[in-house]
Amino acid sequence: MSKVVKFGGSSLASANQFKKVGDIIRADEERKYVVPSAPGKRHINDTKVTDMLYGAYALAEAGKSFSKELKEIKLRYEEIINGLELQTNLDSEFDTIAANFKAQAGKEYAASRGEYLNGIIMADYLGFPFVDSAEVVKFNEDGSFNASLTDTLLKEKLKDLKGAVVPGFYGSLEDGTVKTFSRGGSDVTGSIVAKAVHADVYENWTDVSGFLIADPRIIDRPEVIDTITYRELRELAYMGASVLHEDAIFPVRKEGIPINIKNTNAPEDKGTWIVESTCQRSKYTITGIAGKKGFCSINIEKDMMNSEIGFGRKVLQVFEDNQISFEHMPSGIDTMTVFVHQDEFMDKEQKVVAGLYRLSQPDEVEIESDLALIAVVGRGMKATRGTAGRIFAALAHANINVKMIDQGSSELNIIIGVSNDDFEAAISSIYDIFVVAQL
């Protein structure tokens, strides 16, 4: 049995946090492969080391002095080293980094040093070998991730090691140039390592005890989701829930490896399990609620639309021509409504309307702005009667006007459109009816 454990920035922001992480790893000998992030914020007004590195490198790029900034970064690491009473000396590492900054080694190289240095400290602290991700995580020339080469290299490197520290977030191109994933990308590294070693679990340690059923800025202390399927998570992520990098799902999902989101500051909490499929019923009919404000609807009306061949294609063609992606497209017999992100649409509004008249010759085009979409997601819906009824009764009770309803045939989610102003109240009333009422 082996587990891959990834620790986020806040879990490694200080010596104190490192100690918690050390205790967690030592408490379970299956926790063999460790993927650290760079030190994150120690308190709300603090700066992440990754951001400090971007800042210092911007100065280097502009030909300005960056020594004060680099020194501050070094201090962050020294504080950790001293607090852990280690002998790790990063002097020569920082000399190399300064020289590479001067030689303009690139923004991604700069950012990657956050994880690289934290990995060196972590390896020292645990007595585990350090594996430089630049040697084992590979990208193609066009910048895309090279999954098969990475898998081969990682397997080869890790096969004889009983444990290892593999820093998150970066890898390299064929010629050795350092490249990073997008922000939050250490989650992706953890997933790739878990796949390569056929881990039994990928534990992703952060500063929350798992995914919450709803946004805590809207619901006071919402319940934690204990088990969620990958598909459900996708439906929620797409509406804006972000604890885990989206790309972290694919490597482990293909191998049937579950992800367990855990809290470094409350290691006894069970956290959230993300699994491919499960016969575990969720505690409530719904697994989660997520949503986003700032959509526009374009309602296109035309008599006999239902019998006109190619009408839908022509409408969507207009959006494609204007480089606008659409979010949802509910339709009626003589109407079609297209939901788009308001900020993407605003500048192109009149071009779209003109295009619609030209290509699809509608009777009328009506635009409504400031709309919010809410996804109510749950694998339990399929087997439960009356879910939609309960949602709409709750919304009616809260005096909320529903502008759009869309239920996918998978019966995994129901999407509801309301006005921006009703967004929070709508989420509260849905949470109340499914969760609070069941407590």
Other C-beta atoms within 10 Å of 259: how many?
28
Do residues 302 and 308 make contact, with C-beta atoms less than 8 angstroms apart?
yes
186 makes contact with ligand ASP (CB under 6 A): yes
Q: How far is the CB of 76 from ligand ASP (least distance, A)?
A: 13
Do residues 200 and 1 make contact, with C-beta atoms less than 8 angstroms apart?
yes
288 makes contact with ligand ASP (CB under 6 A): no
Q: How far is the CB of 290 from ligand ASP (least distance, A)?
A: 21
Q: How far is the CB of 207 from ligand ASP (least distance, A)?
A: 12
**Quick one: tokens of 97?**
């980094």
CA 179 vs. chain centroid, Å, equals 19
Beta carbon nearer to ligand ASP, 81 or 117: 117
Q: How far is the CB of 195 from ligand ASP (least distance, A)?
A: 17
d(CA 204, CA 186): 10
First-to-last C-alpha distance (Å) of the chain: 37
Stretch that binds ligand ASP, among 77-85, 185-193, 308-316, 364-372 (CB under 6 A): 185-193
Do residues 166 and 119 make contact, with C-beta atoms less than 8 angstroms apart?
yes
Stretch that binds ligand ASP, among 68-76, 97-105, 182-190, 343-351 (CB under 6 A): 182-190
Among 80, 97, 108, 114, binds ligand ASP (CB under 6 A): 114
Q: At what angle do helices 67-83 and 49-61 cross, to 10 degrees?
A: 160
50 makes contact with ligand ASP (CB under 6 A): yes
Beta carbon nearer to ligand ASP, 180 or 282: 180
Residues touching ligand ASP, count (CB under 6 A): 13
Beta carbon nearer to ligand ASP, 186 or 229: 186
Q: How far is the CB of 49 from ligand ASP (least distance, A)?
A: 7
Do residues 404 and 416 make contact, with C-beta atoms less than 8 angstroms apart?
yes
355 makes contact with ligand ASP (CB under 6 A): no
291 makes contact with ligand ASP (CB under 6 A): no
**Sheet of strand 227-229: strand arrangement:** 164-165, 31-36, 3-7, 201-206, 259-263, 272-275, 227-229
Q: Which residue is nearest to ligand ASP (CB)?
A: 186
Beta carbon nearer to ligand ASP, 168 or 222: 168
- How large is the C-alpha radius of gyration of the chain? 25
Q: In the Cβ-directed half-sphere of 194, how many Cα atoms lie within 13 Å? A: 32
**Quick one: tokens of 300?**
């296109």
Handedness of CA 196, 197, 198, 199 (dihedral sign): negative
Stretch that binds ligand ASP, among 178-186, 205-213, 389-397, 415-423 (CB under 6 A): 178-186
169 makes contact with ligand ASP (CB under 6 A): yes
Q: How far is the CB of 13 from ligand ASP (least distance, A)?
A: 11
d(CA 188, CA 254): 14
Q: How far is the CB of 210 from ligand ASP (least distance, A)?
A: 18
251 makes contact with ligand ASP (CB under 6 A): no
Task: Write the DSSP string, 78-125.
Answer: HHHHHHTT-----HHHHHHHHHHHHTT--HHHHHHHHHHHHHHHHHHH
168 makes contact with ligand ASP (CB under 6 A): yes
Burial class (CB in 10 A: 0-12, 13-18, 19+), 221: exposed
Among 183, 313, 358, 382, binds ligand ASP (CB under 6 A): 183
Q: How far is the CB of 251 from ligand ASP (least distance, A)?
A: 15
The footprint of ligand ASP on residues 382-421 (CB under 6 A) is none
d(CA 74, CA 12): 15
Q: Hey, is 372 helix, strand or coil?
A: strand
38 makes contact with ligand ASP (CB under 6 A): yes
d(CA 7, CA 20): 11
48 makes contact with ligand ASP (CB under 6 A): yes
Do residues 73 and 56 make contact, with C-beta atoms less than 8 angstroms apart?
yes
The number of residues making up the chain comes to 439
184 makes contact with ligand ASP (CB under 6 A): yes
Stretch that binds ligand ASP, among 124-132, 177-185, 233-241, 409-417 (CB under 6 A): 177-185
> Nearest 5°: phi and psi at 90?
-100, 10
Q: How far is the CB of 371 from ligand ASP (least distance, A)?
A: 31
Q: How far is the CB of 392 from ligand ASP (least distance, A)?
A: 40
Among 10, 14, 37, 413, binds ligand ASP (CB under 6 A): 37
Q: How far is the CB of 12 from ligand ASP (least distance, A)?
A: 9
Beta carbon nearer to ligand ASP, 48 or 390: 48
List of residues contacting ligand ASP (CB under 6 A): 9, 37-38, 48, 50, 114, 168-169, 183-187
